[in-house]
Structure 1
Amino acid sequence: MRTSFLFLFIILTIYAAQSQPIRDTGKPPVTNSAIRSWSPDKNVVMDYFQNQQFAEAIDYLQPAFAADSSNINTLSWLAYANYMNEDKQASEVCNLRILQLDSNNISALSYLVNLNKDDAHVIAMVYALRLIRLQPNKAAWWRTMGDLFRRSNEIDSAIIYHRHAYELAPTDSKNAVALGDALIEKKLYHQADSVLDAGLARDSMNLSLLRSRIHSAYLAQDFAAAIAPGEKIRQLNVPILNALTWLALSYYNLGKYPECVSTCEYMQYNGFDIESIYYYEARAYSKMKEYKKSNDLLAICLNKAISHTAEWYYNDLGSNFEELKDYKAAVAHYDTAYFLFKEPLMLYNCGRISETALKNPGLARKYFALYLKTAHPTSAEEKKAYNYVRSHWARRK
């Protein structure tokens, strides 16, 4: 069924390639015989490419294309320049034109795979299949097809193509990683480890192999096996967030809490200012009974987890509950607002309600005492509240 489907697409694609017009540049046709005989200088084109001047290269090549739209060299350069200039549609048109002239052009087929792999997996598969048929012993094309099946979430088919690529070129780490990752996705961890370990035996510091190996170990809950590849990544000093997170959690699950803390601090030092990392570190400190450090880190987590606009919401909730005469709920929301955002006026609100509505002088005294320690009034209204508390509650026992 799939073969028939792909074969149909091959026919349709060839037909589309043969009928697709080249982009209209908006320029009048060139008739001057001197221009018709002109051809671009390869050295000039290469200089443009080397200097990343792709728009200039396109302008340079357009007269040659207008003079001879069947010159494969000119089309290939235009295809590349447009691709690098992020005009994928123009690049696709050039590559389709090349296929009109040379249906077995490897470069054009390869570009067409890349141009369609994100948005049109099936069309990309058509071109990948043609590459496989043209060069059946080239592992890269089998790996390409496997990648396309993974993008389509067809993992079983991806494994078939990745396995064949690996069999063709087992020493190429790209094939080992691609097959290993597909096997991991199917939870075939032992098979993945066998492939990845063979690759690491040849190249023990390959980052891609190390990352896949720690991923497999972590998902399989073989936390001890995650340590060696994770530490090698640290050794290489190339911070990879996912891999180092798996390392930190593996240490935690093994009860190696100082090592978990060290890994989290390493990630923070390398710019990963992320809530979850502080949380893992806080949990490790808690296991080490260093509760003060754990609480400080949890406070950072709360600060990152809750938007500062939440203060407005808690304040408004408190105000609404006060209007509804649900004073305990009002105090609870003002108290939460202070706990999260340390705004002293929230303490004043708690004390005020405790004094006037709840008739609880002990609770009011607690809130007012903390308010006096933390308040720094600036506005007239804040100064009025501060002076009231200081004059009425500062000396109360």
Structure 2
Amino acid sequence: MKKLLIICMLFSLQALGQAQTVAIDKEKIFDLYQNQRYAEAGEYLKTSYSSETTDLKALTQIGYCFLMAGNNVEAEKYYAKADAIQPGNLPILFSLASINTRRGNTEKAKLYYGNIVKLDSNNFIVYKLLANLYLSDKDSLKMVYLLKANKLVPTDGDVAADLAAVHSVYQNYDRAYEVLNVAIKADPENLVLQRSKLPIANLLKKYDEVIASGESLLKDNKDASVIKDLAKAYYYTKKYDKAVTLFRQLEEMLMQNENTLYFTTLSYRNLKNYKMATLYAKKTIDEAISPNTSSYYALLGLAYEEDEKFTLADAAYKKGLQFNSNPNLYYRLATLHDTKFKRSKSAMNYYQLYLKSKPNPKNDAEEIKFVQARIEQMALLTK
């Protein structure tokens, strides 16, 4: 393949030499290509031609060298000149689209690919590349381009997997399943497609298929997503022991989540193992609660307090304590009850709880000093 590429380039260089009376050292260029020194080749050709050259083959050859060298700025400059000389040239448009995709200029890339579609409405590759420029599966244009690409080449695995994902977003599970089926029949050894099909087959209640395919896939690799889908299929077919075994494997892999822990709880409950069901119900609750929840309530309470909605602030701070004994929450409650509600007894209680909650000695040094001093003051006042 490498030799073929070099031969093609040499033919292009021969054409360049015939097109203009420019002295090109073909042996030098051959050596640069063979050793993949494309940047040097580009600079050599660049200096061999005038900056005002309108020779299309020269411009595209120089642009290609810079493209291969990763110099997208120079590559785009030469391809853009070539495009101005000969608009509608598909290879040039593809190169410009590719360069802009690499540089993150997706809108320009879409424009160039759009021009290709106008010239060649049955170009599978351009629809595939266009679809990849739309990151969200909810983007309607992504579906449009994937549908066109899939219609042209229904056996392409990448397009089939992406289209199935989009169909799934819109809950068109039957269509997603069929798209994957066609591609899998063309490539039965494509494990990516088989893994993509498992969650969709589960949603369509094709549990026996999920079990057969899932067990086969696990022989190749212990993929967490496969284990999850297989475990769910065993749960739905009331094989709770097997479901639990697989869900526990996810924990060993540290790949559990709220959903898998919930199904583990249900599995133990159906096995009448209420002790483990209780344990996993608690794990599910812990997984569902963000470790930052108490901080969010602290922020909410502070916003209420600054808006002088003190009762709401008090409720927010207390709600936050239900999730975590955050020192900041005790401090906010203490100062709120001390300065706004004038409730000395409850303020004293919160100040003491603040110190017991072990605030950071370094980061909270000023607050700790204030609280200690305030407790002493309040103690003297109560004597």
Could you say whether these structures have the same fold, taking a TM-score greater than 0.5 normalized by the shorter chain as the test?
yes
Q: Which runs of 5+ in 1 are unaligned?
A: 1-32, 134-140, 270-276, 393-397
- The answer for unaligned runs of 5 or more in structure 2 is 1-19, 135-139, 269-275
Letter in 1 for 2:82: R
Q: Is the 8 A contact 1:69 1:75 kept in 2?
A: no
* CA 123–61 in structure 1, closer or farther in 2 if over 3 Å, else same: same
Q: Match of 2:181? A: 197
SS in 2 for 1:85: coil
**SS of equivalent to 1:79:** helix
TM-score by length of 1: 0.56
2-side partners of 1:268 and 1:101: how far apart? 57
Which residue number corresponds to residue 62 of structure 1? 46
What is the one-letter code of the residue matched to 1:278? Answer: N
Matched, 1:278 2:236: no
- Which residue does 1:336 correspond to in 2? 319
Aligned: 1:314 with 2:301: yes
Name the residue aligned to 2:290.
303
Equivalent position to 1:265, from 243, 246, 251: 251
Question: Alpha-carbon deviation of 1:196?
Answer: 2.9
1:206 to 190, 204, 215: 190
Q: In the alignment, is the contact (CA less than 8 A) between 1:113 and 1:127 conserved in 2?
A: no
Q: Please, which of 35, 39, 47 is the counterpart of residue 47 of structure 1?
A: 35
CA distance in 2, matches of 1:144, 1:60: 32
Shift of 1:41: 0.9
Look up the equivalent residue of 1:280 and give its one-letter code: N
Counterpart residue type for residue 333 of structure 1: A
Map 1:52-201 to 2 at 5 A: 55-56=39-40, 58-66=42-50, 70=55, 72=57, 75-76=60-61, 78-79=63-64, 81-82=66-67, 85=70, 87=72, 90-91=75-76, 93-94=78-79, 97=82, 107-108=91-92, 110-112=94-96, 114-115=98-99, 118-119=106-107, 121=110, 123-128=112-117, 130=119, 141-145=123-127, 148=130, 153=141, 155=143, 158-166=146-154, 170=155, 173-174=157-158, 177=161, 189-190=173-174, 192-197=176-181, 199-200=183-184
Q: State the TM-score, normalizing by the size of structure 2.
A: 0.58
CA deviation vs aligned residue, 1:166-222 (integer Å, no higher than 9, x gap):
3xxx4x544654675676677664455345335445655524312432353355465
- With CA pairs under 8 Å and 6+ residues apart, which has the higher RCO, 1 or 2? 1
1: CA distance between counterparts of 2:320 and 2:349? 17
Q: Helix, strand or coil: the match of 1:153?
A: helix
Aligned pairs (5 A) from 1:15-26 = none
How many Å apart are 1:383 and its aligned residue? 3.3
- The aligned amino acid for 2:46 is Q
Question: Could you tell me whether the CA contact under 8 Å between 1:354 and 1:360 is conserved in 2?
Answer: yes
Q: 1:34/1:240 Cα in 2 relative to 1: closer, same or farther (>3 Å)? A: farther
Residue type of the partner of 2:61? S
